[in-house]
Chain A
């Protein structure tokens, strides 16, 4: 059975339709890359899958583990194993990273019928994952993402993913703003989590990340539609000829970098 089935998904924000019929099937263990120019709707798709209410689904359906995903609250999606690494992780002053992550992990564990971790077990787990991510432990005691550099925020997202061990990870431009060392660390963290049970959607604007996280499939999104799908060689094709090679103009006049 497919882990995730997206069928003819339409979504809008305000009066504006952004996703115009997306279909995609993801089986357990598969890594799908979604590429596309700025403004093509990549983040919208990622956020819709995670349950952001700002985006209103106007058509289509999404089946996750045989259930209607769109009927679930964002927290229930997370509890059922969906994880979104945000393109722009949110700063939350006043909430410590540690407290936040422990609350998240234990809520998810409880939901999945596992025992909650006590402070010591949690700390051990967190230490191990931080090492994997080559992350500074001091970040744990700071408020969530507050005062983090761009790179630290992205690492923190993947670190959270490593701790929460989702079944479906959606990484939204996790590579943007990373220097090469940070990119390697992040990719290393992601690759360590690859397993036959875990699927990933890797959203990226550039091919670069895909040298490190090699996808099984590549899809090109333009103006809210998947215009081309293929294997990992499609990413290389794009690298050479650019989106223009596929006849795609930049989707946004003012590209947000």
Chain B
């Protein structure tokens, strides 16, 4: 227990320094802080955090960064009914910490029946040396359609602890992108909690490129007849550590989910993929498919991949599969036999491995950025 209080102690000081907020927010913060103090930072004894050691975050001493510049508006009053309702801080210390430091919240509403042509773009840039807790709430009304692009970036060492809540009304269609391009010295922990309404369609693409120590939780709860697609691409090198945990909760019948996470690992990087599929007792006719594929380019990179199926209904179809492989020697030789150098061939095949995830990106700017990033990054490797 002392370890926990030592680690949470510094955060208490920062918490005490926060200017008081409106009563409902203040109350929410205090409950969250109390919970955080009880939970403390998770350790690797905790099954959920078995392969991800957050001690460097617990030990860190970043200054609190309650606001992202002064331009951002404070919490809109009408967020009260939703904020914190979906992303529970009961079991997750980082969500608790985010909620405790709640100040500015990015709230976007898409009214019922509206179709947004342009994506909603939200960018968070944490300043060097800071600990920031970006909070996003997106409410998409019935029959509305939109794309959302969340971008995380920064320079130097810092800690971003993000929570995003997305709510889809009946029949809503949302295409979500999270582009994580944090600095290579940064810590990034994020939870995305999605409530998918009846017959709604949610797809998410989580692109994880940066960060020294990264943990992503992407959770979706599915209502009757809804669909969720969770795609992910993580590219890690050097000593990077990226942990993706996903939970797809088939709470109601006739919902479908499709999950494809792909990883490219090099150097002494570590990656974790843990995909939990829950099929509740009355979620009959669930159709769920999960795939995790990893391309391991170095002998010293490590991937831990684990599907976790919790199926409580009997008339369901759930499939899952994970692969870990190296570059195909025959493909390498084929490219080389046409004059393409070994390093270039390696870059081409690595890029090709990510191609099906890139092809699924519908927002052109995100796609172009990703293509550019990949060409540069892989080219770097190549020379």
A interface, CB within 8 angstroms of B:
50-54, 73-75, 77-79, 83-84, 86, 89-90, 92-95, 100-101, 103-105, 107-108, 111, 143-144, 160, 164
Q: Is A164 a contact of B339 with CB atoms below 8 Å? A: yes
CB distance from A183 to the nearest CB of B (A): 23
Contacts A89-B334, A90-B334; is A75 near B339 (CB within 8 Å)? yes
Which stretch in B140-148, B155-163, B231-239, B346-354 binds the other chain?
A: B346-354
Write out the residue numbers on chain A whose beta carbons fall within 8 Å of the beta carbon of B333: 50-53, 74, 90
Partner of B342, one of A75, A105, A108: A75
Q: Is A92 a contact of B337 with CB atoms below 8 Å? A: no
Partner of A104, one of B340, B351, B352: B340
Give A116 to B330 CA distance when docked, in angstroms. 27
Give A144 to B331 CA distance when docked, in angstroms. 10
B338 within 8 A of A: yes
B344 within 8 A of A: yes
CB distance from B221 to the nearest CB of A (A): 33
Q: Is A92 a contact of B334 with CB atoms below 8 Å? A: yes
Partner of B348, one of A73, A77, A83, A103: A103
Known pairs A78-B337, A95-B355, A105-B339 / 14 extra A-B pairs, C-beta < 8 Å: A74-B333, A74-B336, A75-B339, A75-B341, A77-B337, A90-B330, A92-B335, A92-B349, A93-B355, A94-B354, A101-B338, A103-B344, A107-B344, A143-B352
Partner of A92, one of B331, B336, B344: B331
B314 within 8 A of A: no
Q: Is B342 a contact of A73 with CB atoms below 8 Å? A: yes
CB distance from B346 to the nearest CB of A (A): 12
Partner of A93, one of B339, B342, B352: B352
Q: Is A54 a contact of B348 with CB atoms below 8 Å? A: no
Q: Is A78 a contact of B339 with CB atoms below 8 Å? A: yes
Q: Is A95 a contact of B349 with CB atoms below 8 Å? A: yes
Q: Is B334 a contact of A73 with CB atoms below 8 Å? A: no
B3 within 8 A of A: no
B308 within 8 A of A: no
Write out the residue numbers on chain B whose beta carbons fall within 8 Å of the beta carbon of A94: 349, 351-356
Report the interface size for chain B: residues with CB under 8 A from the other chain: 24
Interface-centre pick from B331, B337, B339, B356 (highest chain A CB count, 10 A) = B339
Q: Is B339 a contact of A108 with CB atoms below 8 Å? A: yes
Give A72 to B336 CA distance when docked, in angstroms. 12
Write out the residue numbers on chain B whose beta carbons fall within 8 Å of the beta carbon of A144: 334
- Look across to chain A and name the residue whose beta carbon is closest to the beta carbon of B348: A95
Write out the residue numbers on chain A whose beta carbons fall within 8 Å of the beta carbon of B331: 90, 92
Q: What are 23 A-B contacts with C-beta separation under 8 Å?
A: A51-B336, A51-B337, A52-B333, A74-B336, A75-B337, A75-B339, A75-B340, A78-B337, A78-B338, A79-B339, A92-B331, A93-B352, A94-B349, A95-B349, A95-B351, A95-B352, A100-B338, A100-B340, A111-B339, A143-B352, A160-B338, A164-B338, A164-B339
- Look across to chain B and name the residue whose beta carbon is closest to the beta carbon of A99: B348
Contacts A52-B333, A54-B329, A90-B330; is A107 near B352 (CB within 8 Å)? no
Q: Is A74 a contact of B348 with CB atoms below 8 Å? A: no
CB distance from A50 to the nearest CB of B (A): 5
- Look across to chain A and name the residue whose beta carbon is closest to the beta carbon of B359: A94
Partner of B337, one of A50, A101, A103, A111: A50
Write out the residue numbers on chain A whose beta carbons fall within 8 Å of the beta carbon of B353: 94
CB distance from B273 to the nearest CB of A (A): 20
Write out the residue numbers on chain A whose beta carbons fall within 8 Å of the beta carbon of B337: 50-51, 74-75, 77-78, 83-84, 86
Partner of B336, one of A73, A111, A143: A73
Q: Is B348 a contact of A100 with CB atoms below 8 Å? A: yes
Write out the residue numbers on chain A whose beta carbons fall within 8 Å of the beta carbon of B355: 93-95
- Look across to chain A and name the residue whose beta carbon is closest to the beta carbon of B334: A90
Give A104 to B339 CA distance when docked, in angstroms. 5
Give A104 to B340 CA distance when docked, in angstroms. 6
Give A25 to B329 CA distance when docked, in angstroms. 30
Give A111 to B339 CA distance when docked, in angstroms. 9
Partner of B340, one of A83, A86, A89, A103: A103
Write out the residue numbers on chain B whose beta carbons fall within 8 Å of the beta carbon of A78: 336-339
